[in-house]
Chains A and B, each alone.
Chain A
Amino acid sequence: MGMMALGSVLDGCNLFSGSNADDSLVSNPLSPRSPHFQGKAKSVIFLHMAGAPSQLEMFDYKPELQKMDGLDCPDSFIQGKKFAFIRGVPKLLGPQANFKQYGQSGLWLSDNLPHFQQVIDDVTILKAVNTDQFNHAPAQLLMHCGTPRLGRPSMGSWVTYGLGSENSNLPGFVVLTSGGRNPDAGKSIWGSGFLPSVYQGVQCRSEGDPVLFLEDPNGFDRDMRKASIEAINNVNELSYKEYKDPEILARISQYEMAFKMQIAVPDVMSIADEPAYIHEMYGTKPGEESFANNALLARKLVEKGVRFVQLFDWGWDSHGTGEDTALDKGFIGKCLQTDKAVSALLLDLKQRGLLEETLVVWGGEFGRTPMQENRDGKQNSFKGRDHHSDAFSMWMAGGGIKGGFSYGETDPIGYNAIDGKVSVYDIQATILKQLGFDHEQLTYQFQGRPFRLTDVFGKPIDPIIA
C-alpha cells in the first residue's frame, strides 16, 4: 500500500481519481509519506515579511552607496526600466543604518537587528535573490505559488501533498498573520489551487483564541459529538458515491480533523502555558495580535509535528510616504517588533534540538531600490525606497543549510546581482530538496500536463547546502 501511494506521488497521479477512488475513502490524505530521498528537514517555518523589507538597511552593506548619497541616480541603472512609483530621475539614498560584522563568520549586519547578532552563525544569507515582479500581489504569488497569477497551489500545499503530516490531530499546514492586515495577494498564497483542498493552509487567528468554536455546546458530550460527526460523514460518503466530487472527501477529512483538533489544539496553541523565560525570550504579548506570539506558536506547532508553518507579517513597505513607511521611523519599529522574536525562534529551536530538522526561511516578495523614492517625480517627504526586483536579500537556517554563510553579491550600490544570482524558483527548489524532493518530480496532473511548484524553472542552490 505504501509503495502504491509513493508510486502515485512520483507519477503525479491524482490521489483521488480513477479506480483508486474508493480506496481513498479509507486512507487518510494527510498520512505521512516518504519523499524521493532522505531529506534533512522534516518541517518548514516560512517567515514572510509582506511589503518587502529593505535589504539595504538590514543585510546588504553598501558603503559605496553611502558615499553617493543624494546624487542623481546614474542613467545606466534607470534607462528603459519601469518602477512601481519612481518617475523621472531619483536620487540615491545611502544606507539609513550602521553596519558591523558579527559572529565567528564575520557577516555584516545592521544595528536594526541587535538580537539577530546572536544567531548570525546559524544562517545563510542570500544577497542576490532575483524576481521579475515589482508589485506585491503578483510577487507574493510568485514566491509562494510559483506563478504571478492566481490559481496554483501554494508551497505548503505542495509539501503536505508530498509528505503528509506527522500529527494527524492537527492541520498539516498552518498560517498565522500579524501586522494588522493580510498580505496583498490574500488567501491564495496559502491556498491549495488545483490540489485537493484538504492540503490548504489553515489560518489560525492572531488575537485571542487561535481557533474558535473548539468547545461543544453546553450539555453535549464527546461521545455525542463523535456520533454526530460519524453520522454526518456517513451521509457525506453516500453523497460521494453519488457525485464522485473529491471535495466531499476533503470535507469528510476536515470534519474528522475538527473532532481531533478539539482535543489537540487547546494544548498546543495556548502560549499562556509556556514558562516566563520563554515569554521573555520572544517578547510575546498574550491576548494581542503579535508577530512574537506567532513565532512562539510556530515553534510549538513544529514541535508537535506540523509540517509547514507560515507566518505573514504586514507593514514592511517602506516607501517613505508617511511616518509608518519611513526608513528612520516606521521601518525601525518593524525591525524592533520582529528581530527579538525571530532570533528567539532560532535559539529556541536550536536548544530543543529541532533546528537540524526544521528549515526556517525569511524574506519578502522583492527588495527595495538604492534610490530614494520620488513618487510622481517629487521626492517623498520621508526617507523611503521603491520596490526593487533585481536583487534582494533572504536568509535560511536549519534543515541542513550552512550556518554563518553568505551567498550572492550585488554591485557597489546594491542595484544588480553580480554574483550568485538566484531566482525565486531556485529558493523553492532548495526548500523542496531539503525536504527530500526532486522539485522536477513532485508533480500533479492538471489541464493535460504535469504541474509542479517550480513550473518549468528552478535549480536547488547547492552551495548553501551543508
Chain B
Amino acid sequence: MISFDGSAREVCLTRRIRTNTPLQALTLLNDSTYWDLSVKLAQNLLQDKTLSLEQKIGKGYALATGHPINEQKTKALQQLYASSYQKLNKEKEKYWACYQILFTENKARNWQLLLSSPMPY
C-alpha cells in the first residue's frame, strides 16, 4: 500500500498523490500475490474452450484494465504469447514450473506422461 501511496490514516487526505516509480513496477511484476492472480487468470482463460486465442487475450485485457482491447494491442500480446509458448514447448524441463502451473489441473499427475503428450495451444 505504501508503494502505491496509500494513506497512513493519521491525517485526512483530500486526494492521494499520484506517483509512478520503478518500485511499483517491481511490485506488479514480482509480488507473489500478483503472480498468483495472473496465473489464475491465465488458467481460467486457457480452459475456456469457446474462445479463440485473440478473444482470450481480449477478455484478459478487459478483466485486468477495465478497457476494451484494440487490434494492435492484441497483436502485441499475441506475439508475446507465441514466443513464450515456443520457449516453453522447446525446453519443457527448464520451464517445468511454468508448464505445470498453466497446463495441468492436477499437480500430482505423472509428469513423464505429460512431457510426451502435445501441449494444448
Interface residues of A (CB under 8 A from B): 171, 182, 187-188, 191-192, 197-198, 200, 202-204, 211-221, 223-225, 227-231, 234-235, 238-239, 247, 250-251, 254-255, 257-258, 261-262
Contact = CB atoms under 8 A, between A and B. Distances in A.
A200 B26 contact: no
A227 B83 contact: yes
A251 B20 contact: yes
Give me the 10 closest cross-chain CB pairs, A-B, nearest first. Answer: A219-B97, A258-B25, A213-B30, A231-B80, A197-B20, A257-B22, A234-B76, A258-B22, A213-B26, A250-B20
Interface in B1-60: 5, 8, 17-27, 29-32, 35
Contacts of B31: 212-213
Interface residues of B, number: 33
Given A219-B97, A231-B79, A238-B70, A187 B17 contact: yes
B95 interface: yes
Interface in B52-77: 70, 72-73, 76-77
Contact of A200 (B19, B70, B95): B19
Nearest to A262: B26
Contacts of B35: 217
B80 A188 contact: no
**Dominant SS at the B interface?**
helix
7 contacts: A187-B5, A192-B19, A204-B23, A216-B30, A228-B29, A238-B76, A258-B29
Contacts of A200: 19-21
A247 B20 contact: yes
B98 interface: yes
A196 to B, nearest CB: 9
B25 A217 contact: no
Contacts of A215: 30
Contact of A231 (B24, B77, B96): B77
B26 A188 contact: no
A203 B2 CA distance: 10
Nearest to B25: A258
A212 B97 contact: no
Given A211-B26, A247-B20, 4 more contacts: A187-B5, A224-B84, A239-B73, A254-B22
Nearest to A193: B17
A48 to B, nearest CB: 19
A27 B17 CA distance: 26
B26 A219 contact: no
A187 B29 CA distance: 23
Nearest to A196: B20
A203 B96 CA distance: 36
A197 B25 CA distance: 14
A251 B24 CA distance: 9
Contacts of B8: 182
A289 B69 CA distance: 45
B26 A202 contact: no
Contact of A202 (B22, B32, B72, B97): B22
B21 A227 contact: no
